[in-house]
Amino acid sequence: MNQPRVTVIGAGLAGSEAAWQIAERGVPVTLYEMRPVRKTPAHHTDQFAELVCSNSLRANGLTNAVGVLKEEMRMMNSLIMYAADKHAVPAGGALAVDREGFSKEVTDQLKNHPLVEVRNEEFTSIPEEGITIIATGPLTSPELSEKIKALMGEEYFYFYDAAAPIVEKDTIDMNKVYLASRYDKGEAAYLNCPMTEEEFNAFYEALITAETAELKEFEKEIYFEGCMPIEVMMKRGKQTALFGPMKPVGLPDPRTGKTPYAVIQLRQDNAAGTLYNIVGFQTHLKWGEQKRVFQMIPGLENAEFVRYGVMHRNTFINSPKLLQPTYQLQGRSNLFFAGQMTGVEGYVESAASGLIAGVNAALTALEQDTILFPNETALGSMAHYITTADSKHFQPMNANFGLFPPLEKRIRNKKEKNEVIAQRAIDALRSFVESGATKRS
């Protein structure tokens, strides 16, 4: 009897992870990626799992929910985590990667897997037969979007993500910046651009009056807080930035011993350390305006921008109405969804959804029961949230400790509480794995 083949549409973070999990369980998989046949407004390469926003996978420790999620994924033989750990660059207490090395690693691993067949062509319909995972992401082609809408009978929600500019390190005035991580956590991994109150006020006025790029035919703007354009944030008031991406707390200037009025951080963007991105400065200002305004930042007066910030649309479905915690479409067990289009927000969360969808698609192909990851785990709590949240007000969600079930015993100290939740999650997943529930074929 021939082994059923699973189809995965989209080779982003979620689709790549899903394909890997399926193949690693002995099930053949066909992975479709429309690039380079058809480009998107946000992608710059033809590689799988391209990081189109920041190069950071966020916090790496177990005192942060996304750190717990990453550790759980490592326990599940995650390809995305393997590639991220292998191509990590200095980022203090966070996990940041050399984006080119990371994407190439994922691409090579999948293309060289004996059970993975890669097809570079656009997929414009949803197969009726066979097992399929749709992981086409926030930039799903209009043709496939219409097919998904017709299938679900639900209108999409949409919002915009924004990517931050990247500058060449050699063009940064190192006499005006200093190396440090906030509160001295981890190694000193960020270049910090200090501002006086006068400099901040001038920068603020320039930014909020700068000309933005046209949003084409889109009807209204709905920004997810985690990737909000800096100019939109600043228009909420000066204090918004001072408590956000320009927060000076924990970053005293070693040359003066004093904390600046405001600080803008630059984070290493590649392994060679030749590129730095402006942390939290996602934007959709016109390119000429970006150069004019961002060169007002101390140290960046003569900076060369290798990539300006760009805006792109993100699309996600009403998962509480449509999906099961296995990431299967309700009423159609052979069709799965994964990635940001399910309403998970963030690189790691997207890959994690692909991991769960991939495991369950493989089990379906093997005619075995699908599995629900324990709610006590980061993997399970995220799946539970996006499929049980209020469907009338559903919005994208990052991994966070608020999604986990409460502890039986109340712990007042936040750090201690999070550590207990994290350990409970790791223990729960370990027991789940050891029970054989996630076992490969």
CATH number of the domain to which 78 belongs: 3.50.50.60
- Higher model confidence: residue 381 or residue 123? 381
Distances in whole angstroms, Cα of residue 11 to Cα of each of 137, 147, 420: 9, 19, 35
Binding residue numbers = 10-15
Q: Identify how many contiguous H helices and E strands the chain contains and give both numbers.
A: 13, 17
Clarify whether residues 285 and 332 are in a common domain: no
Residue 161 in any domain: the answer is: no
Distances in whole angstroms, Cα of residue 57 to Cα of each of 53, 102, 164: 11, 12, 15
Q: Is it the case that residue 99 has pLDDT exceeding 60? A: yes
Residue 116 in any domain: the answer is: yes
Q: What is the rounded CA–CA span in Å between residue 242 and residue 200?
A: 10
Q: What is the rounded CA–CA span in Å between residue 243 and residue 228?
A: 14
Residue 240 in any domain: the answer is: yes
Residue 141 in any domain: the answer is: yes
Clarify whether residues 324 and 303 are in a common domain: no
Clarify whether residues 88 and 133 are in a common domain: yes
Mean pLDDT, the chain, integer: 89
Per-residue pLDDT tens digits for 262-304? 999 999 877 778 789 999 998 889 999 999 999 999 999 999 8
Phi and psi torsions of 285, nearest 5°: -65, 155
Q: Is 17 exposed, middle or buried (0-12, 13-18, 19+ CB in 10 A)?
A: buried
Binding residue numbers for FAD = 10-15
- The kind and range of the H/E element at 241 are helix 238-242
Distances in whole angstroms, Cα of residue 5 to Cα of each of 27, 130, 131, 187, 420: 7, 7, 7, 46, 41
Domains: count for the chain:
2
Residue range of the domain that includes 130: 6-155+316-434
Show the tokens assigned to 440. Answer: 């490969």
Percent of the chain with pLDDT over 90: 60
Distances in whole angstroms, Cα of residue 63 to Cα of each of 2, 56, 290, 393, 420: 46, 17, 36, 29, 9
How far the first Cα of the chain sits from its last, in Å, is 16
Clarify whether residues 179 and 303 are in a common domain: yes
